[in-house]
């Protein structure tokens, strides 16, 4: 009996060791990341997007390498925080890479891809608006307008086809905003506030609510001419609106 108990104890000890150097490590890493994400969300609620970016960085780094899907989701949330923190160049670059990565992955979740596309279109919208305020040429800002326009047209049509009317209306509102941006007279643009990405309107470009954030003019500095790869974004839209 004594030998049996000793053997049982050794088996349990070995199992605990295997757990702590294997699945247990990943589980603790995910728990740590979840706590850091809560901190990032608190920073956003406190109107500290730069602090949220730092927290998302930490959360992504703490995840186990195998948890690719969660890391991708957090990269999108980090990019949204970067947009709010006037870090447009970094947001655009990472979102461009992420969209390419997701589109190349046949197992990637479709909603995650669309969320990344939507975030990239938001970044393009703000880059275009700020470049226009800086007085840059059409060649500098128009590609961003066109990219955002095509993406939001694609997402609006896709949402309508899936009978997701709330999402369709949100993307349609964003589409209207970017079309208006492309057509607006430069002098008129100078007198307008930058539309906010509004929490109350679930992300739409909105000038009617006070629930969103907007990047400052300095966000356009050092912005690459095209931070996206050739494969990013939805199929071309020839509808003209």
Q: For position 35, what pLDDT does the model report?
A: 75
Burial class of residue 39 (count of CB atoms within 10 Å of its CB; 0-12, 13-18, 19+): middle
If the chain, 241 residues long, is cut into consecutive pieces of 10 residues, what is the mean pLDDT of each piece? 54 46 56 79 92 93 89 95 94 96 94 97 96 94 97 97 95 95 90 71 50 48 46 50 48
Q: Is 144:125 a contact under the CB 8 Å cutoff? A: yes
Q: For position 136, what pLDDT does the model report?
A: 94
* pTM for this model (two decimals): 0.75
Q: Is 30:46 a contact under the CB 8 Å cutoff? A: no
For every residue of 157-175, DSSP letters joined together read: HHHHHTT-HHHHHHHHHHH
Q: For position 38, what pLDDT does the model report?
A: 84
Sheet holding 196-198, edge to edge: 205-206, 196-198, 212-213
Q: Where are the domains of the chain?
A: 117-241
């Amino acid at each position: 009996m004594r030998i049996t108990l000793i053997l049982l104890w050794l088996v349990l000890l070995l199992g605990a060791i295997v757990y702590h150097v294997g699945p247990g490590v990943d589980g603790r890493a995910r728990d740590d990341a979840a706590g850091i994400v809560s901190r990032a969300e608190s920073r956003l609620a406190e109107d500290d997007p730069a602090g949220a970016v730092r927290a998302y960085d930490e959360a992504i780094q703490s995840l186990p390498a195998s948890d690719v899907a969660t890391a991708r989701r957090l990269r999108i949330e980090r990019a949204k925080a970067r947009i709010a923190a006037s870090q447009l160049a970094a947001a655009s670059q990472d979102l461009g890479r992420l969209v390419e990565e997701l589109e190349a992955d046949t197992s990637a979740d479709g909603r995650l891809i669309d969320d990344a596309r939507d975030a990239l279109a938001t970044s393009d919208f703000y880059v275009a608006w700020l470049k226009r305020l800086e007085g840059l040429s059409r060649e500098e800002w128009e590609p961003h307008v066109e990219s955002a326009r095509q993406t939001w047209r694609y997402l609006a049509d896709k949402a309508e086809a899936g009978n997701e009317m709330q999402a369709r209306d949100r993307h349609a509102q964003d589409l209207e905003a970017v079309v208006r941006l492309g057509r607006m007279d430069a002098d008129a643009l100078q007198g307008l506030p930058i539309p906010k990405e509004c929490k109350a309107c679930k992300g739409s470009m909105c000038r009617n609510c006070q629930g969103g954030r907007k990047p400052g003019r300095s966000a356009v500095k050092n912005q690459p001419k095209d931070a996206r790869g050739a494969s990013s974004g939805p199929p071309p839209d020839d509808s003209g609106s």
